[in-house]
Amino acid sequence: MNLIPDVEVHRPKSLEEALKHMEAPGAKPLAGGTDLIIDLREGACEARNLVDLTKVKELDYIREFGGRIRIGAMTHHTDLVASDLIRTKAQVLSEAANLVGSIQIRNLGTVGGNICNASPGADTATPLLALGAEATISSSGGVRVIPLGEFFAGPKRTSLNPGELLTELSFPTPPAGSGGAFQKLGRRKGCTLSLINIAAYVELDGDTCSEVRVAVGACAPTPVRITDVEEMLKGKKIDEAVIGEVSSACYGLVQPSQRAHSRASEEYRREMSCVLMRRALTTALERARGNK
C-alpha cells in the first residue's frame, strides 16, 4: 500500500463551476471517494486534479418528474435506502443500495460514483439496468442522455469523454403490476463485495409478462442485461416453472472472468447465475402480483 499521492482538490459550489474544472486535463470527479481514495493509495488512479462534488448540492436529489424517477449523481446510498419513493416504486434499487458496503460506505458513497467506478460487480448498476435507466451526462458543451448499458465500457472504464460528468440516473416510474428484486452472493453476510449479483424487474399484464429486464453483475467485464432471458419471458405467461426453466439458461449466457485469481471461479459464477436469476425473478414476480 502507498501513501495518497499529491493531488489538487477543487471545490466547486455549482455544477457549472464543476464542469469548468472538469475541462482541465486529467481532471477526475471526487464524489464519495470510497473507491477513488483506495485507487489513489493503490496507485490505480493517475489523476492529480480532483473535482470534489461534495458542495454541488444540485446533484443530490431523488424525485419523480415527467413519468420518471430521477436520481442526482451525488445521491448517497443511504438516501436511496431511506427514500420512500425508491422503496415503494423501485424496491430492487433500494435492496441493492442497502447491500453496498457498510453504513459508513453508504453514507459516503454515491450512486453516481458507484456507476462511474464501473466495477463489473457494482451493486447499484444491475438494479438500474433492470429498471431501464438512462444516464444523463453533462459537460460545458451541453447535455446528452444515453442508456445506462452504453455507459459501461469495460472493467473500471466508462464511455465518458474528457470534461464530462455523470449528473443523473433516471428510469421510467415502474407502474402498478411491476415488481423487482435483487440477489447478491458474497463471501460473508455483512459488508461484502458481490461475487455475483442479479437484479430482475417484471411487469405483469394478468399473468402475462408484459415487460421484463434482468441484469447480472460480476459475470462479465461490465454489469450487463441478459436480453436472451428477457426474450424468453417477454409476452409469455409467467410462473415459477417458467422462471426455473429460463433461469437455467443463464449458465451459458453469462461470461464470468476466467482469471485464476478471481474471487470466484468461472464455473461457480455460471452455476450461481442460474440460482440467483431464479430467486430474483421469483421474488420479482411475487411482488408484481402483489403490486395492484
Partner 1 sequence: MKVSFQLNGKDIEVEAPGNRALLDLLRDDLGVKSVKKGCENGECGACTVLLDGAPVTSCLVLAPQVEGRAVTTIDGLVDDPFMVKLRQAFLEDGAIQCGFCTPGVLISSYALLKGNPKPTADEVKKAIEGNLCRCTGYVAIIKAILHASERI
Partner 2 sequence: MEYDKILEDLLGRKEFLIVGKSIIRTDALDKALGRAKYTSDYIQPGTVVVKEVYSTHPHALIKRLDTSAALEIPGVLAVYTGADVPGENQIGYAMPDQPFLCDEKVHFIGDPIAIVCAEDEYAAQEARDAVVVEYDPLPANFTIDETLAKDAIHIHEGGNIALTSRIRKGDVEKGFSEAKVEVEGTYETPYQDHAYIEPDVAYAFPEGAGKVTVIGAMQSPFLVREKVAGVLGWNLNQVRVIQALTGGAFGGKDDTGPLVSAKAAMAAVKLGRPAALVYDRFEVTAYTPKRFPSRIHLRTGVDKDGMLTATKVDIKLDCGAYANRAPYWLWRQTVHATGPYEVPNVHVDGTAVYTNKVFGGSYRGFGNLAVHFAVDSHMDRLANELGMDPVELRLRNVLTVGKRTASNQLLDHSVGIEECIRGVAEASDWAEIRKPRRKGNKVRGVGIGTAHHGISTSRGAPDWSAASVILNEDGSFTYRTSICELGQGTPIGHAKIVAEIVGAKMEAFHIEIPDTDTMANARPTHGSRGLALGGTAAADAALKLREQMVNTAATLFECEKDRIDLRNSMASCKDDPSKKMAFKELAHEMYVRGANPAAYGFFTPPRRFFDPETGLGVSYPAYTFAATVCEVEVDLETGQVEILKIWPAMDVGKAIDPLLIDGQIHGAISHGIGIALMESIRLDAGEVINPNLTDYVIPSSMDTPEVAESILVEKPYRHSAFGAKGVGEPAIISIVPAISNAIYHATGVSFNTIPITAERLHAALRRGGQ
Residue from 264, 280, 281, 284 binding partner 2 (CB under 8 A): 264
Distance CA 6, CA 29 (A): 16
Backbone angles phi, psi at 148, to 5 degrees: -60, -35
Does residue 190 belong to the site contacting partner 2 (CB under 8 A)?
Answer: yes
Contact 204, 238 (CB under 8 A): yes
Contacted entry of partner 1, partner 2, none for residue 92, CB cut-off 5 to 8 Å set by kind: none
Residue from 25, 142, 188, 292 binding partner 2 (CB under 8 A): 188
Q: Is 6 exposed, middle or buried (0-12, 13-18, 19+ CB in 10 A)?
A: exposed
CB atoms within 10 A of CB 94: 21
Does residue 1 belong to the site contacting partner 2 (CB under 8 A)?
Answer: yes
Residue in the block written with cell 449523481: 73
Contacted entry of partner 2, partner 1, none for residue 271, CB cut-off 5 to 8 Å set by kind: partner 2
Q: Identify the CA nearest to 76 among candidates 65, 61, 90.
A: 61
Distance CA 155, CA 16 (A): 29
Residue from 72, 101, 113, 132 binding partner 1 (CB under 8 A): 101
Residue in the block written with cell 421474488: 283
CB nearer to partner 2: pick between 261 and 292: 261
Does residue 117 belong to the site contacting partner 1 (CB under 8 A)?
Answer: no
Contacted entry of partner 1, partner 2, none for residue 8, CB cut-off 5 to 8 Å set by kind: partner 1
Contacted entry of partner 2, partner 1, none for residue 146, CB cut-off 5 to 8 Å set by kind: none
Beta strand spans in the chain (E): 8-10, 27-30, 49-52, 62-65, 68-72, 134-139, 142-147, 152-154, 157-158, 165-172, 178-185, 196-205, 208-217, 224-225
CB nearer to partner 2: pick between 142 and 190: 190
CB nearer to partner 2: pick between 188 and 292: 188
Q: Which of residues 53-82 bind partner 1 (CB under 8 A)?
A: 54-55, 78
Binding site for partner 2 (CB under 8 A): 1-3, 185, 187-193, 260-261, 263-265, 267-268, 271-272, 275
Binding site for partner 1 (CB under 8 A): 1, 3-9, 11, 30, 32-34, 37-38, 40-41, 50, 52, 54-55, 78, 101-105, 107-108, 190-191
